[in-house]
Amino acid sequence: MGGAGGGGLGSVGGGSLLDIYAMAWEHLRPGSSPVDWCEGNYLISSNIAEFVNTFSNFLFILLPPVLMMLFKEYGRFVTPGIHVIWLLLIVVGLSSMYFHATLSLIGQLLDELAILWVFMAAFSLFYPKRYYPKFVKNDRKTFSWLMLLSAIAATALSWWKPIVNAFVLMSMGVPTMLMLYRELQRVSDQRVYRLGIRCTTVWAVAVFCWINDRMFCEAWSSINFPYLHGFWHIFIFIAAYTVLVLFAYFYVESELPQRQPLLKYWPKNEFEFGIPFISIRNPDTKDWLNYCRLYCLQQERERDNKHGLNKISGD
């Protein structure tokens, strides 16, 4: 891939538009990626290379809008940046679907870069200050700029050696989970602790699926089950959004303790295998009053409309 990239840069210098277009098409061409997962290609559909790996990304598309709804209060009273992360998860899902449907190099890069930007956005928002490097001086704004510059540099470098990107991203998950383990030792809420244990378990299962699909394809194909990468998509989404929920909780508990974060579950709070989210028990008084005023007005209008419809139907 490095040789092809060098040839492309030389063509740009020579001003050959035809060579530029040829290189761009080569990266868009189905099958141009050096990465090919265990699932057989074009076996279920003649238009989709890896059918199961493509549609196993469904959670990345369906769940983020629900999370945006559940974190509406958090986005208002803590940081609206949480919604950027949910949007990026949708981008990850769409990019992964495109990659597995085409196995193109551009699809691979979009998939991996979307994941990279989720990492960097999450680090910018929620990375605990106690782990900051000394030169940052506990300043989150400076650390966020550092993450942005790192993301831009990594994006540029990813075009140079695309084949190593997946392994680099996997390696970023390990220190994240170690940091989660350390944070769980500090937490007093047992519901949060139990969620952390479940998150770690699901992440371990996801990594098991990824490694086995990548390295032991022949063994799994021999028993007609080359679909572990599809299960990786499902498990890693559950682990990813759960770890984001946990670090969103740690952030408020550590830096905005007056907000009093509370872990809840939807649709039923007592059922701990539902969708976790963070509720804010003590938001800023002024913002809270404005929020309640708007919410109450909306509720009153809905009640009035419903009452009016009932009256008309009764007449």
Please report the pLDDT score of residue 44 as a whole number.
Answer: 95
- pLDDT tier at 11, thresholds 50, 70, 90: very low
Q: What is the mean pLDDT of residues 96-105?
A: 95
Please report the pLDDT score of residue 28 as a whole number.
Answer: 74
Say how many residues make up the chain. 315
pLDDT greater than 80 at residue 159: no
- Residue 98 and residue 115: Cα distance in Å, rounded? 14
Q: What is the 3-state secondary structure (H, E, C) of 237-268?
A: HHHHHHHHHHHHHHHHHHHCHHHCEEEEEECC
Q: Which long-range contacts (CB under 8 A, 24 or more apart) does 64-70 make?
A: 64/89, 64/90, 64/241, 66/266, 66/275, 67/241, 67/275, 67/277, 70/266, 70/275, 70/277
Please report the pLDDT score of residue 301 as a whole number.
Answer: 65
Q: What is the mean pLDDT of residues 42-64?
A: 97
- pLDDT tier at 10, thresholds 50, 70, 90: very low
Residue % of the chain over a pLDDT of 90: 67
Q: Which of 6-20, 38-52, 208-222 has the lowest mean pLDDT?
A: 6-20
Q: What is the mean pLDDT of residues 283-288?
A: 57
pLDDT greater than 90 at residue 132: yes
Residue 40: DSSP 8-state = P
Q: What is the mean pLDDT of residues 295-299?
A: 56
Q: What is the mean pLDDT of residues 203-229?
A: 96
- pLDDT tier at 8, thresholds 50, 70, 90: very low
- For residue range 84-96, list pLDDT tens digits in order: 999 999 999 999 9
Q: Give the angle subtended at the CA of 256 by the CAs of 254 and 262, to the nearest 5°.
A: 80
Look up residue 200 and give its two tokens.
């770690």
Q: pTM for the complete prediction?
A: 0.81
- For residue range 160-187, list pLDDT tens digits in order: 776 667 667 777 888 899 999 999 999 9
pLDDT greater than 60 at residue 208: yes
Please report the pLDDT score of residue 153 as a whole number.
Answer: 85
pLDDT greater than 60 at residue 2: no
pLDDT greater than 50 at residue 13: no
Instruction: Report whether 162 contacts 105 (CB < 8 A).
Output: yes
Q: Which of 81-95, 145-159, 240-254 has the lowest mean pLDDT?
A: 145-159
pLDDT greater than 70 at residue 211: yes
- pLDDT tier at 293, thresholds 50, 70, 90: low
Q: What is the mean pLDDT of residues 111-131?
A: 94
Q: Which residue has the tokens 């199961």?
A: 52
Instruction: Report whether 37 contacts 31 (CB < 8 A).
Output: no
Mean pLDDT for the chain? 85
pLDDT greater than 80 at residue 310: no
Residue % of the chain over a pLDDT of 70: 79
Instruction: Report whether 37 contacts 50 (CB < 8 A).
Output: yes
pLDDT greater than 60 at residue 210: yes
- Residue 122 and residue 234: Cα distance in Å, rounded? 20
